[in-house]
Amino acid sequence: MSKDAVEALSLNAITKRFGELTANDAVSLAVNVGEVVALLGENGAGKTTLMNILFGHYTADSGTVRVFGDTLPSGNSRAALDAGVGMVHQHFTLADNLTVQENITLGVHSLLKPSLGRAAAKTRIAALSKKFHLAVSPDARVGTLSVGERQRVEILKALYRDVRILILDEPTAVLTPQETDDLFATLRLAIAEGLSIIFISHKLHEVMAIADRVVVLRHGKMAGGVNTNDTDKNALAEMMMGTEATPPKVSPAKPDAPLLALRNVTTADVGSVPGLKSVSLALKGGQIVGLAGVSGNGQAAMADVVGGLLNPNEGQVILGSKTVQKWTPRIAVQSGIARIPEDRHKTGTIADFDLVENAILERYKSPAFSNGGWLNWRKSRAFADGIIDKYDVRCLGSETPIRQLSGGNMQKLILGRVLEADPQIILANQPVRGLDIGAVNYVHSQLLAARARGAAVLLISEDLDEVMALSDVIHVIADGRLSPEFKRGEMTPAQLGLWMAGQGFEMDVANAS
């Protein structure tokens, strides 16, 4: 840090509680002009909460925020924006039915102004676009854009408002390695313009690549603050996770015959999200197949076909040796497929149901839980209690509404309800998204245990590290097309990144012809 460092931003002893949970505990953070500070921590550490307080989505219980020396009024996004703080949210805050330009200019001018000033705005967007290498078409409907393009719009929103401090919340979670490089290039241009950057991440290699300084949060408290020059990935990992985290060991696989196969399966596109395009895939017992790819490239269609929610327009689903004639979620469950859905809140559980009702959600019609249209609550309760016990689901009893549980415990209940049926095939769709490290390791160990028992596992994940660590075999999905099979250790992340960007497919075609 040079002697002429000018402090752009300081957060002082910020504390924030949600009910009994202390999300931030007297956290302090300072950023100088032209600096990149990484906010590191695993899920649930309090990084996003802290930034939401900075940006005014929340009010801190105590502590102050100062921007360029002036105290920032809390709980007011308008004030934050006016003071020069901008945020690129993890879940983009864009209106799909409006154009790029409309999203960028929303709220910029006073609501009393009689005109949108479209021509001037378009010119300004074009200039910023060029300057920061963020190519967009201003009149495109945001709903038609890819994930990478949407992020560019999010960044332009902030740059359009002349922010001096830019917060990016897990920006690379949805990008290919190449798009990540492009993002970093844009950030370097921004720094050259005098911006300061706060970069939230849980990925150590990115933090080391882009940040000048790292602040580590753990369980809401500050666990350390160092310059990246003075540290390395191992030290950061220890600060981030303490010594609690030991990922499960992966022994080599001994695959069996295919239990489920897709043969030339094609499904329809849904709006701008591609369907599967003549995909063939085999899930063998005792093996984990990992599906890598940027979100929105056909993973949803893949999960829906395997999970019984979608019937292919062309091609077959083959269970064992028989082609499936009728395919519904219920038939999939009865055929021994365990499905861990992508979103435990939206599709995995019913928030106002208790744990018992959630436990029997897929199999309430089976003789185990009901008889001729009448439910057997005694047996259902026993089943739920069994899961709570065996899978260590922390709760106040099986009759509490499931929305009171933490994400990790909810996921354990979902795991329990599907694994207790002794499934032969497991579909795990983003199974550890949003979970803390303890829950992550638990889920992974359960998947590995199922694999050891001879089950076939299909792991769909946007986290390339996770896919590479767990999978015996990797396919990349891009634009609905499936790459050939890559064995464990065969490809580097950069090589997989090329496939994720779609380039591998062209090379493949070129080589074949």
Partner 1 sequence: MRLEPIKNPTLARKLVPPAIALISTVVIASFLAMVAGANPFSVIGLILKGSFGSQFAILETLNRATPLIFTGLAVAVAFRAKFWNIGAEAQLYAGALMTVLLGTGILPWPSFAILPLIIFAAILAGAIVLLAPALLKTRFGVDEVVTTLLFNFIFLLFISMLLEGVLKDPMGMGWPKSARIIPEAKLPRIVDGLRLHWGFGLAIFSAICIWIIQTRSTLGYEIRAVGLNKDAAAFAGIPVNVVIVKTALLSGGLAALAGFSEVAGLKGSLTLDLSPGFGYTGIIVAMLALLNPLGVIVASLFVAGIFVGADSMSRAADVPTYLADIMLATALLLMVLAIMLTRFRVVRD
Partner 2 sequence: MEIIDILFTASFWAAAIRIASPLIFATLGELICERAGVLNLGIEGIMVAGAFAGWMAVFSGTGLWMGVCVAMLVGMLFGLLHSTLTVPFGLSQHVVGLGVTLLATSSTYYAYRLALPEVTGPPKIEPFQPYDIPILSDIPLLGPALFSQTPLTYLAFILVAIVGVILYRTPLGLAVRAAGENPAAVAAQGLSVTAIRMGAVMVGSGLMAVGGAFLTMSAFDSFFFEMVNGRGWICIALVVFGSWRPGKALLGAVLFAAFDALQIRVQQTSLGTHIPYQIFLMMPYILSIFALILMSRRAEVPAALMVPFNKGER
Contact set with partner 1 (CB under 8 A):
18-20, 58-59, 75, 307-309, 328-330, 332-333, 339, 341, 346-353, 357, 361-362, 364-365, 370, 373-375, 377, 396, 403-404
Question: Sign of dihedral through CA atoms 461, 466, 471, 474?
Answer: positive
DSSP-derived secondary structure letter, 346? I
Q: In angstroms, what is the minimal distance from the CB of 57 to partner 1?
A: 9
Give yes or no for residue 93 binding partner 2 (CB under 8 A): yes
Q: Work out how close the CB of 489 gets to partner 2 at its nearest, in angstroms, rounded to a whole number.
A: 38
Stretch that binds partner 2, among 101-109, 183-191, 261-269, 347-355 (CB under 8 A): 101-109
Element (DSSP H or E) covering residue 214: strand 213-218
Give the shortest CB-61-to-partner 2 separation in angstroms: 14
Question: CB under 5 to 8 A by kind: which of partner 2, partner 1, none does 308 bind?
Answer: partner 1
Which of 384, 360, 364 lies closest to 374, judged by CA?
Answer: 364
Query: Rounded to the nearest whole angstrom, what is the least distance from the CB of residue 192 to partner 1 in the complex?
Result: 37
- In 3D space, the residue among 212, 199, 198, 204 whose CA is nearest the CA of residue 238 turns out to be 204
The sheet with strand 62-67 has its strands ordered as 21-32, 7-18, 62-67, 70-71
Which among partner 2, partner 1, none contacts residue 378 (Cβ within 5 to 8 A by kind)? none
Report d(CA 214, CA 207) in Å as an integer. 7
Q: Does 82 bind partner 2 (CB under 8 A)?
A: yes
Tell me if 7 sits within 8 A of 185, measured CB to CB.
Answer: no
**Beta-strand relationship, 62-67 and 7-18:** antiparallel
| Residue 198 is a binding residue for partner 2 (CB under 8 A) | no
- Say whether residue 115 binds partner 2 (CB under 8 A): yes
- In whole angstroms, the minimum distance from the beta carbon of 417 to partner 2 comes to 25
CB-wise, 97 or 325, nearer to partner 2? 97
Judge contact between 477 and 483, C-beta under 8 A. Answer: yes
By CB under 8 A, residue 157 contacts partner 2: yes
β strands within 110-207, DSSP E = 165-169, 196-201
Q: How far is CA 278 from CA 200, 269, 428, 481, 485, in A?
A: 38, 13, 22, 7, 15
Q: How far is the CB of 281 from partner 2 (least distance, A)?
A: 32
Nearer to partner 1, 123 or 404 (CB): 404
Residues of this chain that interact with partner 2 (CB under 8 A) are 18, 52, 56-58, 76-82, 87, 89, 91, 93-98, 102-103, 105-116, 157
